[in-house]
Amino acid sequence: MSTERDSETTFDEDSQPNDEVVPYSDDETEDELDDQGSTVEPEQNRVNREAEENQEPFRKECTWQVKANDRKYHEQPHFMNTKFFCIKKSKYANNAIKTYKYNVLTFIPMNLFEQFKRAANLYFLVLLILQAIPQISTLAWYTTLVPLLLVLGVTAIKDLVDDVARHKMDKEINNRTCEVIKDGRFKVAKWKDIQVGDVIRLKKNDFVPADILLLSSSEPNSLCYVETAELDGETNLKFKMSLEITDQYLQREDTLATFDGFVECEEPNNRLDKFTGTLFWRNTSFPLDADKILLRGCVIRNTDFCHGLVIFAGADTKIMKNSGKTRFKRTKIDYLMNYMVYTIFVVLSLLSAGLAIGHAYWEAQVGNYSWYLYDGKDDTPSYRGFLNFWGYIIVLNTMVPISLYVSVEVIRLGQSHFINWDLQMYYAEKDTPAKARTTTLNEQLGQIHYIFSDKTGTLTQNIMTFKKCCINGQIYGDHRDASQHNHNKIEQVDFSWNTYADGKLAFYDHYLIEQIQSGKEPEVRQFFFLLAVCHTVMVDRTDGQLNYQAASPDEGALVNAARNFGFAFLARTQNTITISELGTERTYNVLAILDFNSDRKRMSIIVRTPEGNIRLYCKGADTVIYERLHRMNPTKQETQDALDIFANETLRTLCLCYKEIEEKEFAQWNKKFMAASVASTNRDEALDKVYEEIEKDLILLGATAIEDKLQDGVPETISKLAKADIKIWVLTGDKKETAENIGFACELLTEDTTICYGEDINFKSESQQTWKCMMKKPCLNEILLEKKTKRSKILKLKFPRTEEERRMRTQSKRRLEAKKEQRQKNFVDLACECSAVICCRVTPKQKAMVVDLVKRYKKAITLAIGDGANDVNMIKTAHIGVGISGQEGMQAVMSSDYSFAQFRYLQRLLLVHGRWSYIRMCKFLRYFFYKNFAFTLVHFWYSFFNGYSAQTAYEDWFITLYNVLYSSLPVLLMGLLDQDVSDKLSLRFPGLYIVGQRDLLFNYKRFFISLLHGVLTSMILFFIPLGAYLQTVGQDGEAPSDYQSFAVTIASALVITVNFQIGLDTSYWTFVNAFSIFGSIALYFGIMFDFHSAGIHVLFPSIFQFTGTASNALRQPYIWLTIILTVAVCLLPVVAIRFLSMTIWPSESDKIQKHRKRLKAEEQWQRRQQVFRRGVSSRRSAYAFSHQRGYADLISSGRSIRKKRSPLDAIVADGTAEYRRTGDS
């Protein structure tokens, strides 16, 4: 959910984390959460620390009270908070969300207030007021009013369009519907009308509108399956379960309507995985936890309907608490431009003060003694000098370009549309174009130093595919026919012989199919049987099709592979599992499921065959499986070699094994297993210990290799970005092996570089550009000091008891902060020396903190790219956030500044659009400052000849229209269309990007060069015509050297000079550019002749006073020669300097432009050829499982199983299931 960008920050402030309101680490304990540090936190985190500050933590924390079906209860006076003066509002938010800024009444006042916060706009408003004072103004008021109204109007229209879009988005979300109990019945209501305490009904595939307590559902034991992609980026299903009491009594509409339960729980907060509360109902209290809460943003899946009680609504929901407040991001050039405008303010003030002093001196020496200058006022010279100071502030005001900001906004808007219209960033497969979601950051795309990328769904497709396997030492998966002969081109395997095949698996090894069907090697069939039986996947049938719901995409891919190869998982009950083995359905009794966790890195299942044999099947990471193998495993080395090969191909691997168990051995083990299952304390540790006893002396079957497919073009993109001197950091929640393999797959890591593991490094800075750094979560916890030492509750003091304690505590805190800062700085220094960094097992909060560290200590421009809600904090914290619209919902896209569908488009966004935008903006700003100094400083030189009287050198209307009409269009078109080299050459030579990173095209040096150029041009524009006009007689014998003719001559030379100068600055000529330059000059002469005509003077004699001046002056050839000479002297030195510069010191861009015809043939990027060295791979294979426990507890308890099952029970009862031994053990 995008939120309003309504707070501006300085560049240094912007280096702080945007969003401290982030989910906590998934491995923090409750005590550690209660002990979060004493740093400044947002208001919404206050409730997260209440337990630490009170002696009765639970009772004090649970201050949020909700009563079911009773809206009036929540409107009581003690629930009201004073919002504004005497206006009170309930502390319970309604469910409407608001991301817009304005409404009909507030738009004009709020927008004007925001615009006048900008220094330049406020300056011109003050100037307008000064111009209304006749004693000090020599300029008409309209010279400032017209440009100011234009600037305010264009900006207001842009803001209005943006806010209307936000209104539409809010309206669409708020007007979604669901069923709410009203007047004893379920009625359809809009989301915005839902309130805390309402009982609602949701159906399959509905979004959850608020944070609700699950009361009941259509599933057994009121289970409810939800997809949480919008919250944590994970696409696998999670289950929630209601209380047994509500499942039993709250299934019907009438009982739900009379439900009067009372909930006391924690205040609204941002912890996605924590919830503490109590339900009071039927004179009994029932504890509530996060497993019973459905959060806003989740989607109901595989559940026909469910009922819930609204606990938190609208802004109080956890997803809205996590969205935080998005800051208004501004570019580095923006801040630099502001400082330069302030510099111009200072120069303007100094010039005005100097000229005012000059006027006071002139009045004292000349004015007071010149009777013909007497104006009837007897003011002192010093007072006249004071008035002239303000007069010169007005006359020289165009040094601060009023149209600068609006021109910048127009250019950025146009560049944003070019990004939106770029067909080469359009993803036709999903009909997804690139989208610039902000118009203020385009040129910063050309200055990126560091990219922080998510892995799953950003670099990869988040689609797992069964690619290869090793069975009994033999590798399968190459392009082979049924006779075991390799072929480069071969059709993929036809699975039509298998009725359960889903037709989505692309496999090319026909020899494996031959082995399965022939049964020559029993281990092959046993291999796929293991994949079909050893898992925690849930299955349901729709329209005769099998649909699997897995705890992780990897596990789903393995079960789907077994299904395609003829071993389809069909159904399960609490203690049975049914498999179709090559068309024959068989049911096995499940005796135990030994579930996966991140420490065990494996899972096992123990089944009993109909013949009474007991067998354990296990799959897991090779590092843990090999430790538990029987010493007599003949294929152990061959399988290890295969694992090395798979690892080199960046495939995710795991090993499969089995074990025969004697009845007596199982009986003894089962007693220990049952005892550990009901242990009241340390149950998980007890179970893990029991599992260890049975999982030993295993027989190795082989290994699987799954491909987490990279998105197209990822290696090429990373290679080109690296050549552009952009460093890429991958921040992922995956564990080290998985992240490392993907690092090799996308060529972020290579075999010829040194990998430094964070846990092995003492953080001292060493310059090693060939190093790659791998950071794991414990190491990051230590660096970020995210883990807090648990303190004894006896020693907790809200306030120090003595002055000495207070002093010691302060010193201790300072030492801790200094230590933390030094450690972080060392980490950043070392990591930035590496050419690539991968951080594993990081939480959303840690992603944002890592980005912030680089911003804070390196002052570098950062870009974060991700596709899931778990990337939102990182996206908001970076200078530029990019969202990928992929498999994990739209939360990242909604919070991003730019979005597209594929990672490969990032190279075009940065190397083409970003570089062009930076170059265009720099050229535009340099030229804009130049033309305004050349225009304005003519008044300064003129003041030496008019007694420093603040007399203008131009006609008032020329001053008004100079920046608006006569010189605006060419520079705008250059800012929109100019390009030094083509897009193809920009991608071919990424080194061109470096100029933006080093700020070479716009900095204070460039600014002062433009200033000096403007000063010299203004001198030439003034003094050549001045010299030409002295003691001059025209062709008709009349002297043309009057003030008005002089003003026309300078103005004409100025317009021609600045428009030809933009022609010299233009690299990419089009008809539009040429037309704008010559059209601007023609427009100037056309308007001037109109304004100097007698007809308009008759209509407005006080406004148009240069009657006949243009026609009188410009009919003199002498005047035209003067104009031509002035223009030539202004431009010829520039042409000479440019020629010498390009000849003697050509830039990289100049060289490419010179040889662009020869370089038209595109150079194809070649993938680096890797040399596989058997047995020396330093990488370990990745373990393809979810990071969390699976559904084993759910399956074993029977809570997920419907009471009425298919005829499987009858099959078991009749004993008709056959068991075929698949090989001697």
Any idea which residues carry the catalytic annotation? Answer: 454
Structure tokens at 780: 């990051």
Distance CA 470, CA 461 (A): 25
How far is CA 793 from its chain centroid?
40
Residue 571, phi then psi, degrees to nearest 5:
-165, 165
- DSSP-based three-state secondary structure for 1102: coil
CA within 13 Å, CB half, 1019: 6
Residue with tokens 């007809």: 1095
- DSSP-based three-state secondary structure for 704: strand
What is the DSSP code (8-state) at residue 1068? S
Distance CA 1063, CA 1127 (A): 13
How far is CA 627 from its chain centroid?
42
> How many of the other CB atoms lie within 10 Å of CB of 377?
8
Distance CA 865, CA 713 (A): 16
CA-based angle 724:727:731, to the nearest 5? 145
Distance CA 673, CA 682 (A): 14
**Are residues 751 and 1170 in contact, defined by beta-carbon separation less than 8 angstroms?**
yes
DSSP letters, 636-678, are HHHHHHHHHHHHHTT-EEEEEEEEEE-HHHHHHHHHHHHHHHT
- DSSP-based three-state secondary structure for 236: coil
C-alpha distance from residue 1123 to each of 192, 335, 1117 (Å): 68, 38, 10
Distance CA 1071, CA 1063 (A): 12
- DSSP-based three-state secondary structure for 351: helix
**Are residues 688 and 599 in contact, defined by beta-carbon separation less than 8 angstroms?**
yes
Distance CA 992, CA 1147 (A): 9
Residue 65, phi then psi, degrees to nearest 5:
-115, 130
Composition of the chain by helix, strand, coil, percent to 5: 50, 15, 35
Using DSSP bridges, classify how beta strands 699-710 and 862-866 pair: parallel, antiparallel or unpaired.
unpaired
H helices present in 1066-1116, as ranges: 1071-1091, 1094-1099, 1109-1113
Distance CA 898, CA 913 (A): 12
Residue 673, phi then psi, degrees to nearest 5:
-65, -45
Q: Does the CA dihedral 250-256-258-260 come out positive or negative? A: positive
Distance CA 395, CA 350 (A): 14
- DSSP-based three-state secondary structure for 461: strand
The residues, any chain, with a CB within 8 Å of residue 780's CB and separated by 6 or more, are 758, 786, 839, 842, 846, 850
Q: Strand locations in 14-158, DSSP E?
A: 64-67, 80-84, 87-90
Using only C-alpha atoms, the chain has a radius of gyration, in whole angstroms, of: 38
CA-based angle 113:118:119, to the nearest 5? 125
Biggest distance spanned by C-alpha atoms of the chain: 130
Using alpha carbons, select from 424, 195, 208, 422 the residue that is nearest to residue 305: 208
How far is CA 946 from its chain centroid?
59
**Are residues 1077 and 978 in contact, defined by beta-carbon separation less than 8 angstroms?**
no
